[in-house]
Amino acid sequence: MTDPTAAPLILTLALDAPTFARFDALRRRHFPPERNLVPAHVTLFHHLPGEEEAGIVEAIAALARAEPVPEVFATGLRFTGRGVAYVLASEPLAAFRARLAGLFRDRLTEQDRQGWHPHVTIQNKVAPETARALHEALSAEFAPFRFVAPGLLLWRYLGGPWEERARFSFGENS
């Protein structure tokens, strides 16, 4: 059996309650149920080294405490070919993620070294025509909106489902 502490860690944004409920309801409605193993989320990092969890928790907590609660904007929808995602933007959050990436730079995977494009996937791994129909329907009624992100969630990847490992609040030093 492999060591569970070696399983990767995933860092996501915590969404305010109404925004999480909105995105998660859409995800439950449109994501294939057999593949929908995790709640709606915004990934900051896909793969941090699980064996370094204590140090990663310490680093994230220290930076998050000093960061004001960021405002995030849902700016549009993206057709991904086999799914649909809400496109997000937040300069303060992008700067915060860049600071974390700098701290973790030697431990980042290629995927996490690439540019960050924040989004919430509400549908994935469906037929392209199904995805296109949802994209068109949601785009027809889309209006940009804003929300706040009160913190971060750290998860351990368990081969499909995730296990929550830690929560961090922004602005605890404010």
* Residue carrying the six token digits 């971060």: 152
* pLDDT value of position 4: 67
Helix (H/G/I), strand (E/B), else coil: 165: strand
Q: Is residue 174's pLDDT more than 90?
A: no
* pLDDT value of position 17: 97
* pLDDT value of position 5: 75
Write out pLDDT tens, residues 3-35: 667 899 999 999 999 999 999 999 999 999 999
Question: Could you tell me if 4 and 36 are in contact, meaning their C-beta atoms sit under 8 angstroms apart?
Answer: no
* pLDDT value of position 172: 72
Write out pLDDT tens, residues 29-75: 999 999 999 999 999 999 999 999 999 999 999 999 999 999 999 99
What is the rounded CA–CA span in Å between residue 37 and residue 1? 23
pTM confidence score = 0.94
Q: Is residue 136's pLDDT more than 70?
A: yes
The DSSP secondary structure of 46-90, one letter per residue, reads EEE-GGGHHHHHHHHHHHHHTSPPPEEEEEEEEE-SS-EEEEEE-
What is the rounded CA–CA span in Å between residue 89 and residue 74? 7
Question: Could you tell me if 96 and 65 are in contact, meaning their C-beta atoms sit under 8 angstroms apart?
Answer: no
* pLDDT value of position 58: 97
**Half-sphere exposure of residue 27: CA atoms within 13 angstroms, side-chain side:** 21
Q: Is residue 82's pLDDT more than 80?
A: yes
* pLDDT value of position 96: 97
User: Cα 102 to chain center, whole Å?
Assistant: 18
In the chain, where the domains are located: 4-70+91-118+148-169
What is the rounded CA–CA span in Å between residue 132 and residue 79? 7
Question: Could you tell me if 121 and 80 are in contact, meaning their C-beta atoms sit under 8 angstroms apart?
Answer: yes
Average pLDDT, the chain: 95
Segment (H or E) for 27: helix 17-30
pLDDT band for 1, please (50, 70, 90 cuts). very low
**Half-sphere exposure of residue 2: CA atoms within 13 angstroms, side-chain side:** 9
> Where does 4-70+91-118+148-169 sit in CATH, by number?
3.90.1140.10
